Amino acid sequence: MGVWTREEEELRLYDADAFFYFAGTLLLVILLPWTYILFHRLAWPRPKAEVDFDVRGKTAPRGSKVVRFKTEAMEARRQESLKAARAWPVRLRAGYNGLQLLGLLALWGVFAATVYRITLAPEELGHFDPYDILGIERGSELPQIKRAYRQKSLQHHPDKDRENPLAPAIFQQITKAYAALTEEGARQNYEKYGNPDGPNQMKVGIALHPAILGSKTRQLSFVVVFFSILFAVPMSLVLCCLRNPQRTPTGVSSQTIRIFNVALDVDVTAEDCPGIMAAADEAQGCRGPGPHNEEREGAELKKLIEAMAQVKPEPMMPGGLVTIRNGPPEFRGRRGVLRQRASQTSVMVEVFPVDKIPKGPEDCEMKEFPFADLWSVEPRLVCPFSDAPIRRVTAILWAHMWRLHHQMPASYVAELEQLLGVSERLGRAMVSICAHGKGDRTLHFEAVLGVLHFRKHLVQALDLEACPLQQLPHVARLPASKTPWPSIREVVSDPDKATELAERLKLSPEQRLDMQAFCRHAPRVELSLSVEVYDEEEIAEGDVLTLTVQLDRTHLAEDEAAGPVHAPFLRSPKFEEWWLIVMDDRSRRMVTAEVILNTAKLVTTKLRIQVPRHGDFRWSVHAICDSYVGLDARSTVTFCALKSEAVDREIFVHPEDANIKTLFEEIMEGLQPEEDSESEEDVQPAKPKVAAAAVRADEADDGSDSSDDEAEKTDEQKKKQAEEKATKKNDKNKKDEKHEKEEDGDEEEANEEKEDDDGSESTSSEDSTTDWGTIFRITGNTACWIYRRPFEEATDEEKLELKRGQFSVGTLIRAYVGGGRPEGWVELHLSDGSGWVQMTEDRAEELGPLMEQELCWVVQTATPVSMVNRWMRNRTKPLTVDDIEAVRGIDNDSVRWKVEEAARKKIGNEAFEKLMDQAFAKHAWRRRRLRKAMGHFQTQNGCIWHVSSGARLRGVAADGSRISDKLVVTDEVVQIGPWTLDEERPCSCIHWMQKEEKQWVWQQDKSMESRLKLAAAFDR
C-alpha cells in the first residue's frame, strides 16, 4: 500500500462512493429487460421453434397473414405441443429458465445491497449545502455557526471517529461548510460557484472501488482481466461462427456431402433414398451417445421387422427367408431358405432344425412346400448399403412411411423425431447434388424426380406406391372399387369431387369438415414465365439469359402466406419448398434447378442461364413441391437464339468518357521515367490518350495549325504500319491455331470457324483427298502405352522416360499412319502435343479411315467437331440408335449440343426425335437386362467393381490402380471381354463364365467403405 497525497485520497474516496452509483445503474440496465423477458417466458410459455405450429416461418413476408390448416389432426398436434410447453418442469428447463431465475434473484439481491450502500454515501456526491452539513437553519448567527462547527468537528474528527472509514471526507465537508459561512472569500465563492474553494478543475475518475486498485499487483491483475475480456468476447464470437469447420453453409456435414456424392448417381431411384439418407452422419447421430443395450435393441428391432413383414413382405425369391405357416405339424412354425422352384405353385425349402443353429446344408432338411403355406420373414426393405447401423436407420424410416409408429418402441420413436428434424436439410442437399451432378442431364432429371418423390412420401408418411388420396384427413386406405378414384388435384380443385369422395368413403360430418379444410388450404400454384437478356433486344448464342419464373399460389389472398403443411405424422412444423426444374424439351435434358423457400402468395425467381447454341428453344419449367404428392405444376416457354455473329454487341463509349483514364493507366503513366530537358521550353504537357475520332473532332473545332496536322499524319502513318504488321502476324497465328485445332481436337473453336463452310462444293472435293486419320481399337490383355516419340530400340529406363499415358483395352483412337512416319508406329494429335503408339497385330485392330466409320465410333475418339460435320455431309448411310446413344454420351456439353444439332440437321427433326425415343427405350431395355449384373461387387483378389445402367464397368484393384471397361449387352448374352454372365444361377453373387469352363465369381459388396474407396480412386 503506497503513500497517498491529500488530493489523491480525496479522489480515492470519491471513486469508492461513485463505484456503487455506477454498479447500481449497470445492474438496473441489465435487470429490467432480463426480468421482463424471463417473466414473459414463464407466464406465457411457447413451444420450441422446431415444434411450434404457430410459428410464421422464416420466409413469410412481414405483415402477411399466415394461413394454417385447422384439421383435427393438426389442431391435436398443436395443442399437444402447447400442453407440453406449459408444464412447469418444461418451463424451467426450456432455455435454462430455472438457472436464469436463480441468477436473476441473486442479481436483484446484489442490486438491493448496492442501493443500501448508496444511502450511506456522503452528500459530497450530491449538492453542496453548508447549512445542511452543519445541521443549522438558514439565517443562523455566527455564534450558532461556531457552536455547530465545534460539535460536528469533534464528532467526526478522524482521530475521534476511527471506526468510520468516511470520517476524513465528512470532516473535510464540515470544514468547507464552516469556511463558506464565516470567511468572506469562501462565502463569495460559494455564492458564485457553489463551492467555497472556488472554480475547481475537472477531475476524472473511473468509478472503481479503491479495493480493486489498492496496489500495483491488483492494478496489473485488473488490466490483464480487462484486456482479456476485451479480446476474449470478439474472439469467442468468431470461434462460435467457425465452431464446426466440418459443416457446409447449408448445415450438412462435409462427410455427409461426400457420401451423397458417392451414392447419388444416375441409377438412383426413390426406393434407394431412405438408405442413402440413413447413411448421413446426421442420421447416424440421432441415436444418441452410448452405452446402448444391444440385446434389448436387437429384440426391439426384430419385433419391428416382423411387423413390417406383415405389412409388405419380401417377394419369394430363391435365397429368401420364410416361415412355414401350414403343412405337416412337425414343420409348422419353422423357418427355412427358399431354393429352386419345384413347380408353378410349389418351391423347395431348406428347413432349419429346431434344436440348433445350422452350420451347413447337411444340417437342414430339403422339402417341397406350396407357396400358400409359406410367409416371407423379411419385409421388402430396400437399402443400397449392407452396413448394420445404416440398415437399422433405414428400417425406422420405412416403418414411418408405412405408418407403423404404434409398433415402434419409445427409443425408436424419439430417434425418428430427430431423424425427421434433420431430414429437411438432408433432403435439400440430396436434391441439389442430383440436380448439379455430372453426366447425362436426362438421367439426372430422373434422379431428381426420384429424390423429390421420396421426400413427399416421407413428409406425408406414405409408402412410395401409395395412392395420393391417402394424404387427405381420415383416408387411411382406399377400398377396391370398379369406379376409378379421382386424382388429388381434382379433389382439391373441385368441391363437388371432394363431396363425392367423402360420400364414397362414408365420412362423418366432422371428417368432411376436415377434408374441406384440407382442400381449402392445399397448394394450387400457377407459373408465369418470361425470358430476356438484360440491356439487349435480341437473344444470341453465348448470352446470359434471365428466365423469370413467377409462382402464384391461387388459393391465397393478396395479404396471406402459406403456413405449415398438413403433415400430422411430423412432430415439427414443415413449410413448403418448391423446386423449379428447367428442362430443354428439344434435347430432353435438364438445364438447371432452383429451390423456392418463400411462402408468400406471389414469388418471383430469376434464373440466369447461358444460351448454349443458336436456334429454337422450348423449355419446360416443372414446379415440384417437396411436401405434397400430385400437386405439382408445369409451364413452357419458347424463344429463338441467333448466332453470335448475327448480333451487334458493340459497346458504345460516349466521347466525353473517352478521356477518362483507368486506374491502371494512371499507375503505369506514373511509373514511366520523366526525360530530362535542358530548358523549360522543351518540356511539353502530356497529351491525354483519347480515341482517334475524338482527337480529330477536337482539332477540327479548335482550328489547329498545319504543323499539328502533319504531326498527326506522321503518327497515323506509323500507327497504320504497326497495325498492318500486327494484322499479318495475327493472320499467321490464326492459320497455325486453326491447323492445331483441327489436329489437336479443339472441337468448339474449330467448329465455330468452319460452320459457314457446311454444304460447299469446295470442301467436298477437299474431303476426298485429305487424310482425316484412321480408327484403331486397342486389343490385347493389357493397356497400350503412349510415348512422346517413336524409337527403334530403347532400354526400360528410356521407355519409362518416354511414356506419357496409356489407353485401356477396347479404347477407340484416331491416329495417322504413313506419310513418312516410322513403320509400326501411329501418330496421335492430342490436346497437349503429339503422341505415338506402337502398333502390332496383337495390340490394335485397324477399323479403317475416319470417314468410313459409324458415328458411334467417330464420337468416341478425339475428333474435332469440324470433322464430325464433314462426316455428316459425306455420309450416305442413315444414322442409327447406337449413333444417337454415343452422341448423348459425350461428356463435353458444348460439343454434345453441336453434334446433336448437326445430326438433327442431317436427318430432320422428326427422324431425330424417333431415334431419341428408341435410344431411351434401349436404355430402359439395357437396364432390365443388367438387373442382375448392376451394382457393387468384390472379387477374391480384392478388386472392387461397379456396373452402371449404361453398361459401364469401373473397378479399383487392391493396389489402388483403376480399371475401366464396357459391357456388351445383347438379347442373348451379357459379356465383359471373353467372360459371359451366367444368368441362370439363383444366388446373390454373379458368375462370369468362359468357354473353357473357367469361372469368375463376384460377391455383392454393398458396404460404405467399398463405395468410398471406389469413388476416391476415380476422383484422383
> Is pLDDT at 361 greater than 80 in this prediction?
no
Cα 506–chain centre separation: 46
Alpha carbon separation from 674 to 532, 677, 684, 762, 854 (Å, rounded): 51, 9, 12, 58, 68
pLDDT tens digit sequence for 234-258: 887 777 666 655 677 778 988 999 9
Confidence of residue 694 (pLDDT cuts 50, 70, 90): very low
d(CA 977, CA 969): 11
d(CA 117, CA 21): 9
The CB-side HSE value for 441 (13 A sphere, CA atoms) comes to: 20
Cα 647–chain centre separation: 37
> Is pLDDT at 781 greater than 90 in this prediction?
no
pLDDT tens digit sequence for 311-330: 888 888 777 888 888 888 88
User: Between the CA atoms of 266, 269, 270 and 275, what dihedral angle is there, to the nearest 10 degrees?
Assistant: -90
Confidence of residue 380 (pLDDT cuts 50, 70, 90): confident
Q: Give me 835's grid cell.
A: 503422341
User: What is the share, in percent, of the chain residues with pLDDT greater than 90?
Assistant: 26
pLDDT tens digit sequence for 718-742: 445 555 544 544 454 444 444 444 4
Question: What is the pLDDT, as a whole number, of residue 1008?
Answer: 92
The residue-averaged pLDDT of 353-359 equals: 78
Question: What is the pLDDT, as a whole number, of residue 440?
Answer: 61
Most confident of 600-609, 919-928, 1010-1019: 600-609
- Which stretch of DSSP H or E encloses residue 1001? strand 999-1004
User: What is the share, in percent, of the chain residues with pLDDT greater than 70?
Assistant: 81
Give the range among 164-178, 579-593, 1004-1018 with minimum mean pLDDT: 164-178
What SS3 state is found at 939? coil
pLDDT tens digit sequence for 431-451: 999 988 765 666 788 899 999
Q: Give me 46's grid cell.
A: 411457447
User: Between the CA atoms of 818, 824, 830 and 832, what dihedral angle is there, to the nearest 10 degrees?
Assistant: -110
Instruction: Tell me if the bond preceding 291 is cis, omega within 30° of 0.
Output: yes
Which 8-state DSSP code applies to residue 185? Answer: H
Confidence of residue 753 (pLDDT cuts 50, 70, 90): very low
d(CA 461, CA 959): 45
Mean pLDDT of the chain: 80
Kindly report the backbone phi and psi dihedral angles of residue 370, in degrees, each rounded to the nearest multiple of 5, phi listed first: -70, 150
The residue-averaged pLDDT of 563-567 equals: 92
pLDDT tens digit sequence for 57-66: 778 888 888 8
The residue-averaged pLDDT of 333-353 equals: 85
Give one DSSP letter per residue of 448-506, joined into a string. Answer: HHHHHHHHHHHHHT--TTS-GGGGSTT-S-----SSPPPPHHHHHH-HHHHHHHHHHHT
Q: State the alpha helices, DSSP H only, in 579-640.
A: none
Partners of 849 in beta bridges: 774
> Is pLDDT at 21 greater than 80 in this prediction?
yes
The CB-side HSE value for 83 (13 A sphere, CA atoms) comes to: 6
> Is pLDDT at 539 greater than 80 in this prediction?
yes
Question: What is the pLDDT, as a whole number, of residue 497?
Answer: 92
- In which region does residue 327 sit, left (phi positive, over 0), alpha (psi from -120 to 50) or beta (all else)? left
> Is pLDDT at 910 greater than 70 in this prediction?
yes
d(CA 276, CA 385): 8
Question: What is the pLDDT, as a whole number, of residue 551?
Answer: 95
CA-closest candidate to residue 865, choices 734, 758, 737, 764: 758
pLDDT tens digit sequence for 484-537: 999 999 999 999 999 999 999 999 999 999 999 999 999 999 999 999 998 888
CA-closest candidate to residue 389, choices 415, 414, 409: 415
Please tell me the pTM assigned to this model.
0.76
d(CA 799, CA 793): 9
The residue-averaged pLDDT of 664-685 equals: 50
The residue-averaged pLDDT of 89-110 equals: 90
d(CA 415, CA 422): 11
Question: What is the pLDDT, as a whole number, of residue 88?
Answer: 87
Q: Give me 496's grid cell.
A: 363437388
Alpha carbon separation from 624 to 273, 450, 593, 771 (Å, rounded): 17, 12, 11, 52
Secondary structure, 3-state, 208-272: CCCCCCCCHHHHHHHHHHHHHHHHHHHHHHHHHHCCCCCECCCCCEHHHHHHHHHHCCCCCCHHH
Question: What is the pLDDT, as a whole number, of residue 689?
Answer: 33
d(CA 987, CA 991): 9
The residue-averaged pLDDT of 404-433 equals: 92
Question: What is the pLDDT, as a whole number, of residue 194?
Answer: 65
Give the range among 122-126, 168-172, 791-795 with minimum mean pLDDT: 122-126
Give one DSSP letter per residue of 880-932, joined into a string. Answer: -HHHHHHHHT-S-HHHHHHHHHHHHHHH-HHHHHHHHHHHHHHHHHHHHHTTT
d(CA 412, CA 304): 10
Question: What is the pLDDT, as a whole number, of residue 698?
Answer: 35
> Is pLDDT at 232 greater than 50 in this prediction?
yes
Question: What is the pLDDT, as a whole number, of residue 704?
Answer: 38
Confidence of residue 389 (pLDDT cuts 50, 70, 90): very high
Question: What is the pLDDT, as a whole number, of residue 533?
Answer: 92
What SS3 state is found at 65? strand
Higher pLDDT, 863 or 399: 399
Confidence of residue 375 (pLDDT cuts 50, 70, 90): confident
420 in Cβ contact with 329 (< 8 Å): no
Q: Is 650 exposed, middle or buried (0-12, 13-18, 19+ CB in 10 A)?
A: exposed
Q: Give me 418's grid cell.
A: 430427430
> Is pLDDT at 870 greater than 90 in this prediction?
no
> Is pLDDT at 114 greater than 50 in this prediction?
yes
Question: What is the pLDDT, as a whole number, of residue 738?
Answer: 44
d(CA 804, CA 800): 9
185-199: burial string, b at 16+ Cβ within 10 Å, e else: ebeebbeeeeebeee
Starting at the edge strand that comes first in sequence, how are the strands of the sheet with 589-596 ordered? 589-596, 578-584, 615-625, 633-641
262-300: burial string, b at 16+ Cβ within 10 Å, e else: bbbbbbbbbbbbbbbbbbbbbbbebbeeeeeeeeeeeeb
The residue-averaged pLDDT of 684-694 equals: 34
d(CA 231, CA 226): 9
Question: What is the pLDDT, as a whole number, of residue 422?
Answer: 92
605 in Cβ contact with 546 (< 8 Å): no
Confidence of residue 609 (pLDDT cuts 50, 70, 90): very high
